[in-house]
Amino acid sequence: MQKIKVIAGQIAWLVPKLLRGLRAGFMVAPQVTTSQVVTLMRIYEKTRTRIGDLSKEMHVSPPTITGVIDRLVRYGYLKRTHDSLDRRVVNVELTDKGKTLVEHLLSEINKRWYKILVHLTEEERENYLKILKRIVQILDKEDV
């Protein structure tokens, strides 16, 4: 049990460094924050989503996600639409400008990861991918 605590502690120090290093390599829209990028990518993945559902999925409060969405609407990356069955329900979806940004970001992120992964062996790359998939699976299932 002690070893897992040591590993968790090391990961706690390494993940912020990893995120800073990755962010530096792909941020192409200076006014867009990391949380806004994550929001845009989540909406891109789903095509359209309710603001309330997005708040739950991203584990942030409704006022927080509303603020993020307000800024992305102001930048022209998102648009709000009312549900055709219930006008009280507000959905968000990417504009063409938002889709273009996300696709560009995905391309840049892909290039950045390639430049990193080329330094690992094929076995290390495959293990890293396997572990990342497992971690994402755990995060999707549980409220960790």
For 122, list phi and psi in degrees, rounded to 5.
-60, -40
CA 2 from chain center: how many Å?
32
User: How would you classify the pairing of strands 78-82 and 90-94?
Assistant: antiparallel
* Segment (H or E) for 142: none
Delineate the domains of the chain, giving CATH numbers in brackets.
2-141 (1.10.10.10)
* Confidence at residue 99, expressed as pLDDT on a 0 to 100 scale: 96
pLDDT string in tens for the chain (144-residue length): 689 999 999 999 988 888 777 666 555 566 788 889 889 999 999 888 998 899 988 889 999 999 999 999 999 999 999 888 888 888 999 999 999 999 998 898 888 889 999 999 999 999 999 999 999 889 878 665
Tokens (6 digits) for 105: 């970001």
Q: Provide the terminal-to-terminal Cα distance of the chain, rounded to the nearest Å.
A: 18
Question: 47 in the Ramachandran plot: left (φ > 0), alpha (ψ -120 to 50) or beta?
Answer: left
